[in-house]
């Protein structure tokens, strides 16, 4: 064994090229380079991006067989990053098939509004630069997008574009005024909003009429995801079967708890629990208190070490994000940010609802779910894990999940934490346990829908029907969920499958090491957001995965 990690310079070179190519990624990492630019999606830029990624992938693959395990694992993390991006560009062809991908890029000015990335003046200038780049980006999108797009992608793009008008209009103008630069962004704001309107009209008038009901990514994409992203060796059919078994077992356990609560069925118990909600003006505060209680419990019961300097703020979801985040979501700080401040967004029902409509919408926010959601999103879930990943001992581990990857461990860990905290006594109330299991039904459905949808065995309306019926979810929320599953193959399955893999790691650690729960969690979290199979290899608890070989 050697103490020299030969992958480190290759990872650094990859990261340098990635942030030079994509300044929005740089911003997400907490860097200020290119803060006033957006990446190009022109044909020539896309070709150059693919060549760059292939070159880095080839060099990193050469280290997969290194005798130093740390070198080999860091090289695999780099290969994963390149495969993640090449899968999108070559197998999925998102540049031609997914309107929302361009809107994600356009949203790259939002971190500049909420993160301390430079002085207020510098951030106003950077926001202005990105606003001025929006029309060119959306013209590239119009040139790249093909007829016959999935109807769900077109519909999602229209809603997303309409929501971004709030960000590009009053939000950025208000930001400039708050920085003492009132009016500085008005012209760029108007141009960006006009570009959004043209793009929305293109989607609605040119692409929607010929859109297709088909939204399957296909078996090649699924196979690539399972091998390179999740590092799972089982065939899709076995994973679907696991999802169905878990669904059946969870439903059976729910009936037992419903009987304990004095209800004739789980559906009746959930319906009654969902009527117990805070007032609308109490909603964000209720989530905030749940997070504070979860944090205190983690510390008092030695469940995991909190990373030094971590901070978390709970706030209402901005209006332009509400269509994308129907419930609650967490946004982590970047690994290069000095201040490790996580943001936990709570999506309240829209304004202007009548009394009956508001009561129906608030059913998604029952008191009995706040604790579980706080555990998942904050302590010891996403916030603790992702801030720990930002402080992992190697660069590869700190950036392993870019861009938008690592979900098997990220989501698996957060979902594992729900049952962990129940077992540790924090989520012990029967109503809370029932709602946690109802969320597990939702996650089991996700495995089934994710794989069946992308293999072409289930269409989108059937997926919405299935999720709405099985997870006691209203139809609008189920539609938003399933649309996201269609746009992000592999992500929805990662909650339940990731939890299974973390549980297996915990069992192996107990059998082979016998350390405390806190010791296991702290060591586990030091590996960043790598797939559990790779972490098991690094911790000496499992073999080298088949994907992490030179011949792969």
Buried b (16+ CB within 10 A) or exposed e, 283-309: bbebbbebbebbbebbeeeebbbbbee
SS3 109: helix
- Phi and psi at 472, nearest 5°, equal 50, 50
CA-based end-to-end distance of the chain = 23
Report the chain's mean pLDDT, rounded to a whole number. Answer: 94
Other CB atoms closer than 10 Å to residue 27's CB: what's the count? 25
The tokens for 183 are: 């009016």
Query: Cα 4 to the chain's mean position, in Å?
Result: 33
Task: Give the percent of the chain with pLDDT over 90.
Answer: 88
Give me the count of residues in the chain: 552
- Specify the pLDDT at position 541: 96
Whole-model pTM?
A: 0.95
| 180: exposed, middle or buried (Cβ count in 10 Å: 0-12, 13-18, 19+) | exposed
Which of 433, 434, 346, 418 is CA-nearest to residue 382? 418
Q: Residue 328 forms beta bridges with which residues?
A: 346
Residue 46 reports pLDDT greater than 90:
yes
Written in H, E and C, the secondary structure of 448-502 is HHHHHHHCCCCCHHHHHHHHHHHCCCCHHHHHHHHHHHHHCCCCCCHHHHHHHHH
What does R_g of the chain's alpha carbons equal in angstroms? Answer: 23
- d(CA 452, CA 446) in angstroms, rounded, equals 10
The DSSP secondary-structure symbol of 417 reads: H
pLDDT bracket for residue 325 (50, 70, 90)? low
Least confident interval from 72-81, 164-173, 430-439, 502-511: 164-173
In tens, the pLDDT along 205-242 reads 999 999 999 999 999 999 999 999 999 999 999 999 99
Per-residue pLDDT for 247 more than 50? yes
Listed range (122-136, 139-153, 473-487) with the worst mean pLDDT = 473-487
CA 368 to chain CA centroid, Å, is: 24
The pLDDT score that the predictor gives to residue 318 is 79
- Mean pLDDT of all residues in 281-292: 95
Q: pLDDT category, 3, cuts 50, 70, 90? A: low
Q: Predicted confidence band at 520 (pLDDT cuts at 50, 70, 90)?
A: very high
Do residues 522 and 393 lie in contact, with contact meaning Cβ atoms separated by under 8 Å? no
Q: Are strands 311-316 and 328-331 parallel, antiparallel or unpaired?
A: unpaired
| Residue 213: Cβ-neighbour burial (10 angstroms; 0-12, 13-18, 19+) | exposed
**How many other CB atoms are found less than 10 A from the CB of residue 17?**
15
Q: Is the pLDDT of residue 327 over 80?
A: no
Q: Which helix (H) or strand (E) holds 312?
A: strand 311-316
Structure tokens at 240: 């679907």
Q: What share of the chain is helix, strand, coil (3-state, %, to 5)?
A: 65, 5, 30
Residue 243: phi and psi, rounded to 5, are -60, -45
| Of 311, 277, 258, 296, residue with least CA distance to 433 | 258
Strand order across the beta sheet in which 328-331 lies: 311-316, 341-346, 328-331
Condensed to tens digits (0 to 9), the pLDDT of residues 442-473 reads 999 999 999 999 999 999 999 999 999 998 78
Report whether pLDDT(321) > 80: no
What is the structure's pLDDT at 324?
A: 60
Taken in order 353, 358, 360, 361, the sign of the CA dihedral is positive
pLDDT tops 60 at residue 491: yes
Average pLDDT over residues 155-171: 92
* Structure tokens, 425: 């006594």
**Which pLDDT score is estimated for 329?**
82
Distance in angstroms (rounded) separating the CA atoms of residues 187 and 175: 14
DSSP lists the bridge partners of residue 331 as: 343
Q: Record the tokens describing residue 258, joined without a space.
A: 């419903």
Place of tokens 């070490």: 305
Q: With 50 as the cut, is the pLDDT of residue 1 above it?
A: no
C-alpha dist (Å) from residue 335 to 28, 138, 207, 300, 314: 9, 29, 39, 27, 20
Q: What is the dihedral of CA 343, 484, 290, 525, to 10 degrees?
A: -70
The residue among 101, 83, 100 whose CA lies nearest residue 220 is 83
What percent of the chain lies above the pLDDT cut of 70?
Answer: 98
User: Mean pLDDT over residues 383-407, rounded?
Assistant: 97
Instruction: Residue 437: count other Cβ atoms within 10 Å of its Cβ.
Output: 25
What would the pLDDT profile of 331-363 be if each residue is shown by its tens digit? 999 999 999 999 999 988 887 889 998 998 898
Q: 282: which DSSP letter?
A: G
Indicate the pLDDT class of residue 2, thresholds 50, 70 and 90.
very low
Q: Helices (H) and strands (E) in the chain — how many of each?
A: 26, 3
Q: Residue 229 and residue 84: Cα distance in Å, rounded?
A: 7
Q: Report which of 81, 104, 88 is spatially closest to residue 398, judged by C-alpha positions.
A: 81
The pLDDT-based confidence of 474 (bands split at 50, 70, 90) is confident
Q: What is the model's pLDDT at position 361?
A: 86
The whole-number pLDDT of residue 323 equals 63
């Amino acid at each position: 064994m050697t103490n020299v990690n030969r992958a480190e310079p290759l990872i650094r070179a990859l990261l340098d090229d990635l942030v030079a190519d994509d300044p929005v990624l740089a911003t997400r990492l907490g860097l200020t380079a290119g803060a006033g630019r957006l990446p190009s999606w022109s044909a020539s830029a896309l070709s150059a991006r693919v060549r760059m990624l292939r070159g880095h992938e080839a060099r990193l693959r050469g280290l997969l067989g290194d005798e130093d395990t740390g070198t080999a694992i860091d090289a695999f993390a780099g290969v994963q990053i390149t495969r993640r991006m090449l899968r999108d560009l070559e197998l999925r062809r998102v540049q031609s098939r997914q309107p929302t991908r361009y809107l994600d890029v356009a949203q790259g000015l939002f971190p500049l509004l909420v993160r301390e990335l430079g002085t207020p003046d510098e951030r106003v200038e950077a926001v202005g630069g990105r606003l001025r780049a929006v029309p060119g980006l959306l013209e590239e999108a119009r040139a790249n997008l093909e007829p016959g797009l999935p109807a769900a992608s077109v519909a999602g793009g229209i809603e997303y574009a309409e929501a971004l008008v709030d960000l590009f209009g009053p939000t950025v103008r208000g930001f400039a005024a708050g920085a003492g630069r009132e009016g500085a962004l008005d012209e760029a704001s108007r141009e960006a909003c006009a570009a959004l309107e043209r793009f929305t009209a293109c989607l609605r008038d040119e692409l929607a009429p010929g859109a297709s009901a088909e939204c399957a990514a296909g078996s090649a994409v699924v196979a690539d995801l399972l091998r390179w992203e999740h590092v799972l060796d089982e065939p899709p059919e076995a994973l679907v079967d696991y999802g169905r078994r878990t669904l059946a077992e969870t439903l059976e356990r729910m009936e037992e708890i419903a009987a304990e609560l004095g209800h004739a069925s789980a559906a009746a118990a959930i319906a009654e629990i969902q009527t117990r909600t805070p007032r609308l003006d109490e909603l964000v505060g209720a989530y905030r208190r749940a997070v504070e209680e979860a944090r205190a419990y983690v510390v008092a019961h030695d469940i995991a070490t909190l990373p030094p300097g971590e901070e978390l703020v709970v706030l209402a979801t901005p209006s332009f994000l509400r269509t994308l985040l129907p419930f609650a979501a967490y946004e982590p700080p970047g690994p290069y940010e000095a201040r490790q401040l996580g943001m936990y967004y709570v999506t309240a029902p829209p304004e202007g609802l009548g009394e009956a409509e508001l009561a129906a919408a608030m059913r998604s926010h029952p008191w009995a779910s706040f604790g579980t959601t706080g555990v998942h999103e904050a302590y010891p879930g996403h916030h603790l894990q992702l801030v720990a990943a930002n402080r992992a001992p190697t660069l590869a581990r700190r950036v392993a999940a870019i861009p938008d990857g690592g979900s098997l461990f990220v989501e698996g860990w957060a979902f594992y934490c729900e049952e962990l905290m129940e077992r540790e006594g924090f989520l012990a109330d029967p109503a809370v346990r029932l709602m946690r299991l109802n969320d597990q039904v939702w996650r089991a459905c996700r495995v089934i829908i994710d794989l069946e949808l992308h293999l072409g065995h289930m269409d989108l309306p059937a997926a919405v029907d299935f999720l709405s019926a099985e997870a006691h979810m209203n139809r609008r929320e189920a539609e938003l969920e399933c649309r996201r599953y269609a746009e992000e193959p592999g992500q929805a399955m990662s909650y339940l499958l990731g939890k299974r893999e973390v549980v297996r790691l915990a069992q192996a650690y107990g059998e082979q090491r016998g350390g405390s729960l806190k010791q296991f969690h702290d060591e586990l979290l030091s590996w960043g957001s790598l797939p559990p199979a790779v972490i098991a290899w690094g911790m000496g608890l499992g073999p080298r995965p088949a994907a992490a070989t030179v011949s792969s």
